[in-house]
A and B are shown apart, each in its own frame.
Chain A
Amino acid sequence: SYVLTQPPSVSVAPGQTARITCGGNNIGTKSVHWYQQKAGQVPVLVVYDDTDRPSGIPERFSGSNSGNTATLTISRVEAGDEADYYCQVWDSSGDHPYVFGTGTKVTVL
């Protein structure tokens, strides 16, 4: 089945930029979605279809996807952005179509 690999952790100072990668074979050919999960809370969609934001999600959250890596970028990081972040794709070629990444813990220093 398709595998999505994320770094376990990313640390960033307030006001700086956090970049969270999601690696997968030719992931650039798939649509990537990103979720934010704060401690004890439900995952929330923050980016869909590589680059789009649901209503209510700040413009500070942006996404890109090319080649073998998709990236979620959080600009001007705030303390409230501290959370786990998961990427997700739909792999139409496999029998396990909905695949989540391994997750990245973003720590705001």
Chain B
Amino acid sequence: QVQLQESGPGLVKPSETLSLTCTVSGDSISSGGYFWSWIRQHPGKGLEWIGNIFYSGSTYYNPSLRSLVIISIDTSKNQFSLKLSSVTAADTAVYYCARSKVGRWFDPWGQGTLVTVSS
């Protein structure tokens, strides 16, 4: 059974870079066929897809965040990561990592991690 777990700082200062890692267990991240995504949810709000990465390193980003986001993958550690630069209070959210196939649904999801942007 595939499981995903987010990790990273829960507090980030404004203008700094938010960095999170998702560790995948139960399957190889490079087994192919899957995209590895980051999704966020602002407090009390809906779900927003941030972007994803294929095991080959190909990335796809939400156009509204593209200039600020970098998603990378480390197949040797079975991990993929999110970097969101120049954060503001508006980036305070629960950040989830999730797996999908192209054009398909997200399953499973990580437990989510709350990141607060505050000085």
* Interface residue stretch chosen among B25-33, B70-78, B84-92, B104-112: B104-112
Flag if B103 contacts A33 (CB, 8 Å).
no
Asked if B60 is an interface residue, CB under 8 A from chain A, the answer is: yes
Asked if B62 is an interface residue, CB under 8 A from chain A, the answer is: yes
Flag if B62 contacts A90 (CB, 8 Å).
no
Whole-angstrom CA separation of A7 from B49 in the bound complex: 20
Flag if B107 contacts A42 (CB, 8 Å).
no
Flag if A86 contacts B107 (CB, 8 Å).
no
A43 and B103 in contact (CB under 8 A), knowing A95-B63, A98-B37? Answer: no
Contacts of B46 in A (CB 8 A): 86, 100-103
Flag if B96 contacts A42 (CB, 8 Å).
yes
Q: Residue B48 contacts which of A44, A45, A97, A100 (CB distance < 8 angstroms)? A: A100
CB distance from A97 to the nearest CB of B (A): 7
Interface residue ranges of A1-60 to B (CB < 8 Å) = 1, 31, 33, 35, 42-45, 48-49, 54
Residues of A that sit less than 8 Å from B by CB: 1, 31, 33, 35, 42-45, 48-49, 54, 86, 88, 90, 92, 95-103
